[in-house]
Amino acid sequence: MLILIVPAAIALFPLLALLLASLKPTTELMRFGLNLQLQPELLSIDNYLFLFTEGSIYFRWFFNSLLVSFFTTVLALFFSSLVGYSIAMYDFKGKGIVFLLVLVVMMVPFEILMLPLFNLMSFLGLINSYTGVVLPMIVYPLAVFFFRQYSLGLPKELMDAARIDGSTEYGIFFKIMAPLMTPAYGTMAILIAMFSWNNFLWPLIVLRTTDMATLPIGLAGLLSPYGNNYDILISGSIITVLPIIIVFLFAQKYFISGITAGGVKG
């Protein structure tokens, strides 16, 4: 038990330090940095009150991030599960090559793909649009690989029985197989939502106006050579963590079972 408490305390230190820093003025942060010193006379909720009153643009960024993360997660789960399931359960010409391409894309750093993706979005006229941010992410290579591994453990006898009953292939997937893949959906929902919520580089490249910025871009814009609003930045970052915590709380019961099942199928 003690062995687990020490790593947990180390992992929680940054979050606790940020929480205390969000209640302090900028001058104290500049003088002492992030720490766990409790100074009741310096603690206040003024930074949060500013966000809820004068910091209206912050909630615009918050809504933008929710919008992008929601559609990215839903579409990525839908298309990635279809691709992974198809690779696992059907035999077709070039199946091995398709799976090999999935593995190759997983190994290629996203920074290498940014330029061709940007040229494609520019050609399609999707620069400075949320569609341009979401579209390249709707087939997530890691999710395809994970769903493929998970689908290998599904009984094909259910597919044969459904075909005898006259079900279509889409009916088999949506009515029978997809419900059996619920743990995989829960696991990937957490990972994809976290990636999308924290994604900074690709939205920064595609989006051009302040009112369309997502939270990572907007919060980064608070830092400048002329005035660093560290107190507002940290307070906004604390609120930013809440959606990911909520997603994890709803999907945590599927997370371990999904990781375990998806990791042992060969």
Mean pLDDT within 190-208: 92
Q: Which fold has domain 55-264?
A: MetI-like fold (1.10.3720)
What's the pLDDT at 120?
A: 93
Domain ranges of the chain: 1-44, 55-264
Q: What is the pTM of this model?
A: 0.84
Tokens of 146: 């994970």
C-alpha–C-alpha distance, residues 198 and 187, integer Å: 17
Task: Flag whether pLDDT at 159 surpasses 70.
Answer: yes
Mean pLDDT within 110-122: 91
- Render the burial of 181-203: b for 16+ CB within 10 Å, e for the rest: bebbbbbbbbbbbbbbbebeebb
Sign of CA dihedral 171, 254, 192, 240: positive
User: Cβ(144)–Cβ(76) under 8 Å?
Assistant: no
